[in-house]
Structure 1
């Protein structure tokens, strides 16, 4: 069986790494083409992660670069279609909910290639999120579904998917987290500020609803700073957010901006933080496994198990809610959380073994 493994953004590489490592260990009879769409092209978001995750160089880089979502979608579809005209795999495997995954899934399906979706079935029911559109589109046309939770499997089966095509396998992002946890390493900002475990807050923001509106972004950060008990607030800045932040002035001596960090450096900060404040879904999974309090700066989540079982709480961006959540944190009243089922580091292995059990005609 030949697979096309599609990745285009940093979270994609983290998930694909678990699958590639599983192929190396359990995938006798499977060959693959590792295809980087180029959706993320900054070295800290893309290039350096290959070394951190011990990934091979991609067989192909479609090099789509920046642009609107429509422009990126079109460029990815055209480039991937051209690749498929020369050679078709047995199966196109996409992960997560980014533009690269959606564009390649549609292109493969239109060219008669079956599609497998890793991290299928997640739903926020928030149609203002591009990721929700992407994941629903992928699930509507995919042939095989690999899910991170029972809830995600139920979402798919309730929507009419054949239960025999839905596989609850666990979380590939957690595979990589556990595999490389012993290799997490300190950063320059850790050394320069003489940071101590549980004596700082870690902040990440990147979703358009949080960072594109200057007033919203300023109010959110102001509320965090005001209620931080003067602990350092470390903010690795996404490239698109950095442009907006340049226009804003923050009167805070404990807010520290840093460039985007490598995977191993960033997760060192996550593991040792007092708490993480984020609008990322994937980070809420990592904090759950690491046992770190997490405040989600959104009004919903497609990963409800991080709330019902894990260390995550939906806070939103209302300054009043941020204040109350941080007060709860500093009173040591935060929940401890527990590990969701099958988040023990073997999801990639289960995916590969299930693929090998499929009819080779896929």
Structure 2
């Protein structure tokens, strides 16, 4: 009798727990939609609801409607880029089992940035599609380089060695980028503005260009969720359970590189989103990547939209680039993680 009585509340608690994650996902979707409306409505110029409604219907007869029409692609790009960066951070942390893994900290952003700058300065790159491919190749080369350097020596690729290799590589690539740009006054201004990271110049053409790469990256990432759960058990145990460890890492890595490279090509190197978001999402849903990845994508999109709106409001009538806002948020968070986690494995 006692067992039967205690079984009921346990089952009820289990049912409640099984509803928490889907409910949280729905809440994040609602928050994302609300932030999209906020992003369209708020800016350096005040607009009325009538102008917003008219602009959403394609009308641009007034200055307010034109302002809203310019914010629409900006909002879409911010959501896509934030989702991609949040997802990339979760993937990189899962692949490396490193709580400090992030496209910026591991040098992947700077690899993409340097590749684009070299293409502009030395090869006269002008085709829009070439920017995306070049950024993806640069991101991939930087990721492979950091992982190889971090794997040298005893104990292989430990979280601390990867973080140090990524930080050193990021500084070196940043210096190379400056060296390439300095003699080229014709591109220096545009490159410096792009390197801050922002979504202010978004257009539908830009979104159409990077969207296939982002969608492919999202698909590969979600397919990798189960593989990342296996990797979290440790390489030996994952291999013992039949998982091909190298292939699992490579698959998730390709998804991360596609997402990071395409985002960097469109927005510039935006840092810390991939670091902050996965940690916050683990507090909500735990370490199961089947939930962590979609939560990270939605949370990253929400964070970047919020940062973009704050950048417009704080510096009115001017704007702060979204990369500046995310750096203000992420830098203290990075210090907190280092102090709390002591750079141990996930």
TM-score range, shorter chain: under 0.3
Tell which structure's C-alpha radius of gyration is larger: 2
Specify which structure has the higher proportion of strand.
1
Relative contact order: is structure 1 or structure 2 higher (C-alpha 8 Å, sep ≥ 6)?
2
TM-score (norm 1): 0.22
User: How does the TM-score come out when normalised to structure 2?
Assistant: 0.22
